[in-house]
Chain A
Amino acid sequence: ETGVTQTPRHLVMGMTNKKSLKCEQHLGHNAMYWYKQSAKKPLELMFVYNFKEQTENNSVPSRFSPECPNSSHLFLHLHTLQPEDSALYLCASSRGGAGAFTGELFFGEGSRLTVL
């Protein structure tokens, strides 16, 4: 399997549930990202990881908790979400690393989240 794979593709959860989104990349990249795409709004960068270390958190509420156990896997743990958190959550990866930034991100197909 190649590219960036996200699971599940669709998720419906209640406000009191705890769920996780998973992202896996098979590209040998060192940087991974979470973006949120709400209806009628531009993609919003949420988190950035480089070599498993979080390098950016764009003021994301604590009900979203990222985890990056290694350079190939990225999780987004979700708990006590609100209906306005319903969106498409996109994972991306890039080569990363000093001197290797090209601005070329590889995106997964996204996980469509609905919060009831």
Chain B
Amino acid sequence: DAKTTQPNSMESNEEEPVHLPCNHSTISGTDYIHWYRQLPSQGPEYVIHGLTSNVNNRMASLAIAEDRKSSTLILHRATLRDAAVYYCILRPRGSGDKLTFGTGTRLAVRP
């Protein structure tokens, strides 16, 4: 299975945009890109996912590179509640809903 690489940690200021990068240079053409986040003392929660095109939802935007070897999760205005570990996950088509989590990026938000 293809692997993802994320920075261990990042910091941002409250009310500023945050760009969380993910490298997946060995991604296959049928792998979906998923992002989850895990707030302190909670289970992970779904953020967004995409295949080839950029995606927007109420929580975030997902920008996927044209060659699909990297992607960026964009939080448009960080709040203190966005402090969490963010996971970038590749899900092969045909693997059901099974997800393999990595170590993610721990995002700290400064007031």
- Pair A105/B96 contact, Cβ less than 8 Å: no
The number of chain B residues with a CB under 8 A from chain A is 21
- Pair B43/A110 contact, Cβ less than 8 Å: yes
- Pair A103/B49 contact, Cβ less than 8 Å: yes
Mark the stretch among B64-72, B73-81, B99-107 that contacts chain A: B99-107
Report the separation of the CA atoms of residues A96 and B98 in the bound assembly, to the nearest whole angstrom.
10
Chain A residues within 8 Å of B45, by CB: 106-107
Which residues of chain B from 10 to 57 have any CB-CB distance to chain A below 8 Å in the complex? Answer: 32, 34, 36, 41-46, 49
* Residues of chain B having any CB pair with chain A under 8 Å: 32, 34, 36, 41-46, 49, 89, 91, 96-104
* Residues of chain A having any CB pair with chain B under 8 Å: 4, 31, 33, 35, 42-43, 45, 48, 50, 55-56, 90, 92, 94-96, 101-110
